[in-house]
Structure 1
Amino acid sequence: MRFVLLCLSLTLTATPSWSQEAIGLAAPDEISNSGLLQHILPRFSLKTGVRVVADDNGVMALAPAPPGDPVFARDETVYHLRINASAKEIKFRDWLLSDIGKRTVESFVPAEGGPFSANFEIADVVEDAKIDGDAALGQDLSFTHCGRCHVIGPQNRMNGLGSTPSFAVLRAMPDWSERFQAFFALNPHPAFTQIEGVTEPFPPERPSPIHPVEISLDDLEAILAFVAAISAADLGAPLQLQ
């Protein structure tokens, strides 16, 4: 009897240390109905101890278009993972982009429809729209408003937050333009950003936790013009502090 209890104790202590609260992942119907999430999510959780569950209102989301990190494709559609900055969400993204995550996706055999691929190329998008903003003004605005968290250039390379991508890294992403145009709607920006004529004023009971970023659409166009002109980071090489 003591031997059985000892074995049971060892078995329980050998199980993964599960996170108490699950992270929700929203996905389009074609992904949810395919069975892919039922295949990959338990395997990720077993490997890491972080619980991710399918949830239409999840803080993470898969979408058939940018913004987000391209993680897998099916037929002609590339699906992008949109996350916030929490450590658990970053762990899930990194796992999906790792070799074992890719193998897990590609090992899934759908009952209907084509297979999923985790190895694909994203065609370069030619941007026809011309950015007419004042790049010089955009540079000043970027250092003033964005330099508190992001490295904008050599002038503030020691001031950015370590967990926040530099402008050069963001510029290297295929969907950089969409990210900057919609930045005020992407976490954590809504908590402290006001775009004149676009965003609603902060509720009196929930003011900005820091000095707010207050800019106009013309200012945003100027920032886009500045970012369009800067050199993109080489994401094929090992990332260095910038």
Structure 2
Amino acid sequence: MIRASLVVLSCVTALIASSLGAQEREVLLHAPDTLVETGVMKYVLPRFSLKTQVRVTLVPEAEAQMVLGAGGRPLMTGIGETWGVALLEETDDVARFADWLWSDVGQRTLFAFAPEGKPLFGPPAIVEQEVVEITFDGDADEGEQVSIVQCGRCHAVNEKGRMSDIGSTPSFFVLRAMGDWEQRFGAFYVLKPHAAFTQVIDITDPFPADRPSPIVPVEISLDDLENIMAYVGALTPADLGAPIQHQ
């Protein structure tokens, strides 16, 4: 009986320790309402959390471990302001989140936020002249396979699909040739017509019961999207010729 009790006590202790450990995997972030209302926090924070298992929670400034606002180290510009990051408490997870925001992946994520098809944010003026080689950490081969299954019904995603796409939709090669292709692919699920039939796990809201998807839904994860980005980034852009000169 005593031995069984000790086993139960050990299990309870392990569960409590596990619970406390899980609670520590959190960053308390404060951002002004004007920034939150753009939707960028809802766009960016899940991407970091899904990759790191560190939750980022928006809190009042008095409770924050870090602040995204007018002060601190400049991070980005947009909606008429330069936004910086100030670290108020330097835990491992806070430092990890801050490093991610300034990394290539974090910067790409921030600048890909384009709710109306036009990015809201860009690099701050003091680093505007830096040349950054953009790389993608997804698997290009996996990205091609996901593209074939999920996008191939409408777009030509590789050479084999050039004769089976819908003629009114641009191929991946044409889209790759566009200067804003990263924004187009990175946020495609909020752009028309994709928003009506696309679900990104843990990002998009379920379709309303009275407005289901008009076609078989496109269902992907953020990992799938990163793989697609890696695949498209490796494609040879279509030659669209010289820009049209207006008389």
Relative to the length of structure 2, the TM-score reads 0.46
Q: Which structure's residues are more often helix, by fraction?
A: 2
Relative to the length of structure 1, the TM-score reads 0.47
